[in-house]
Amino acid sequence: MLIRARWVVPVEPAGVVLERHGVLVRNGVIQGIVPWNEAPAGEDEVALEDHVLLPGLVNAHTHAASVLRRGLGDDLAAAPDARAVREGTLLACAEMLRGGITCYADAFDFPEASLEAAAAAGMRCSQGLLVKETPSGYAADAADYLRKGLEARDRMRDAPRTSFGFVPHDVSDATLRQVATLAAELDLPVRAALKPGELQRLLRAQVLGPGATLAYASEVAAPEVAVLARHGCSLAYCPSAELRQGKGRPPLEALVGAGVNLALGTGGAATNHRLDLLHEMRLAGLAPHDALRAATLGGAQALGIERITGSLGPGKAADLVAIDMSGPELAPRHDAVTQLVNSADRQHVTHVWVGGQALLSERRPQNALFPPLETPRNLWQNSQLRAGS
């Protein structure tokens, strides 16, 4: 298959925009990127004359099923069961795919239910295994969370497009240390909130390292930037969620300058109301190519899957998104990447592929296993969470 586009932005090498190139895909994997006039004959072709072709966007921090509480405010009072998590995650996947997101880092109770939804949708997912110390409808305590999480991973670790990580949430030093040890043993990433004053605790628990991603780090102090950089950490910045909490912008330029890997996330829809990474990319206020890297390769690196996705190059999965630049909202085309990052909406997303599988084409869903793109209103009107709200 050859996907020809007016512009191809591979993200790696940084800052490159290839005009009138095509991405050659075989068995779901990118074979190469070639100029239109050097493309091999006889391929199935998709022609995107007015489009930018990018790596699929990576949402580096969300709580997918919380879309069921969209518009109800911050309070996640209702206790979801596995069915609600599956339904909510399907809805979140429908929204994310229509917005060009091909991969997301989730964190929710009932991780197997989440992954069933991601598999039905065809999305790539890094499933966060939550670890809490307070009882829920899913687990009794930290030990129970860990046991159930690891069992879920054992059962689903060979599923395609699936990876895992730990997400400790409001836990003691002892539990944090236990999570760090398990993560090191199993080579799994850890996502944790970096609240003010927490960095020393994360250091002591040996959480920090190339597999660690910090979220909610708006208030990171200058000396902490150096610590994060020295340990090779990633930062998952969620602009909307942090703005809504009245927080400022982290020192992104200083973090990137020091070598911290920057990723972008939407947070959950209960607070943010939208799982829209194009919106987060704009709000981050970075230089256009830096914003695009954070929304793609930066996210993949944070999830530990940068060898699989996040940029367009030979050997990488064909996770792609096409954005139609012909609308009046994106004119004039002084610079394609600038207009894309500053001005593109989800309405301009026309095609999405994951592992070479077309999931959205000319804005229409292509995956027969995944009905909510067509008829969400029938599926979600009577959800259990709604009754519990």
Residue 231 touching its own copies (CB under 8 A): no
Q: Which stretch binds its own copies (CB under 8 A): 63-71, 126-134, 219-227, 292-300?
A: 63-71
Distances (CA, A) of 136 to 69, 80, 115: 17, 9, 19
Phi, psi of 373 (to 5 degrees): -60, -30
List the one residue from 162, 206, 343, 361 that touches its own copies (CB under 8 A): 343
The overall longest dimension of the chain from CA atoms, in Å, is 61
| Binding flag, residue 284, its own copies (CB under 8 A) | no
Show Cβ contacts of residue 147 under 8 Å, excluding neighbours closer than 6 positions. Answer: none
What does the alpha-carbon distance between residue 370 and residue 148 come to, in Å, rounded to a whole number? 27
Of 328, 260, 329, 250, the closest CA to residue 283 belongs to 250
- Is residue 162 near its own copies by the rule CB under 8 A? no
Nearer to its own copies, 209 or 327 (CB): 327
Q: Which is nearer to its own copies, 27 or 381 (CB)?
A: 381
| 181 near its own copies (CB under 8 A) | no
Q: Which of 201, 333, 356, 366 binds its own copies (CB under 8 A)?
A: 333
Region binding its own copies by CB under 8 A among candidate stretches 34-42, 132-140, 183-191, 379-387: 379-387
Compare residues 74 and 173 and give the one whose CB is closer to its own copies.
74
Q: Is residue 245 involved in binding its own copies (CB under 8 A)?
A: no
Strand residues in the chain grouped as ranges (E) = 2-8, 18-26, 29-35, 45-55, 57-59, 101-107, 124-131, 162-168, 190-193, 212-215, 234-237, 261-264, 320-324, 349-354, 357-361, 364-365
> Is residue 372 at the binding interface for its own copies, with CB under 8 A as the rule?
yes
| Other CB atoms within 10 A of residue 260 CB | 27
Distance CA 102, CA 93 (A): 9
Backbone φ and ψ for 43, nearest 5 degrees, come out as -85, 150
Residues with Cβ within 8 Å of residue 183, at least 6 apart in sequence: 165, 166, 189, 190, 207, 211
With contact defined as beta carbons under 8 Å apart, do 216 and 167 qualify? no
Q: Which is nearer to its own copies, 29 or 287 (CB)?
A: 287
**How far apart are CB 66 and its own copies at their closest, in Å?**
12
The reply on whether position 89 binds its own copies by CB under 8 A is no
Site string for its own copies, 98-117 (x = CB under 8 A): xx------------------
Using the rule CB under 8 A, which residue among 327, 356, 357, 361 binds its own copies? 327
Q: Residue from 64, 95, 179, 215 that binds its own copies (CB under 8 A)? A: 95
Q: How far apart are CA 132 and CA 140, in angstroms?
A: 9
Spatial distance between the Cα atoms of 5 and 204, rounded to a whole number of angstroms: 49
Least spacing, CB of residue 373 vs its own copies, in Å: 7
Interacting residue with its own copies among 114, 309, 339, 350 (CB under 8 A): 339
Sole binder of its own copies in the list 4, 63, 70, 316 (CB under 8 A): 70
Looking at 21, 132, 346, 351, which residue binds its own copies (CB under 8 A)? 346
Residue 164: strand, helix, or coil: strand
**Under rule CB under 8 A, residue 68 binds its own copies:** yes
Among 177, 195, 231, 274, binds its own copies (CB under 8 A): 274
Q: Does 361 bind its own copies (CB under 8 A)?
A: no
Choice between 67 and 113, CB closer to its own copies: 67
Candidate ranges 40-48, 183-191, 304-312, 380-388; the one touching its own copies (CB under 8 A): 380-388
Answer whether the bond into residue 223 is a cis peptide, omega within 30°: no
> Counting contacts by CB under 8 A, is residue 347 touching its own copies?
yes
Residue 288's identity, in one-letter code, is: P
Contact 62, 275 (CB under 8 A): yes
Alpha helices in 122-268 (DSSP H): 142-156, 173-186, 199-204, 222-230, 239-244, 252-258
Which residues in this chain contact its own copies in the complex, by CB under 8 A? 50, 67-68, 70-72, 91, 94-95, 98-99, 244, 273-274, 276, 282, 285, 326-329, 331-335, 338-339, 342-343, 345-347, 372-373, 376-377, 380-381, 383, 385-386, 389
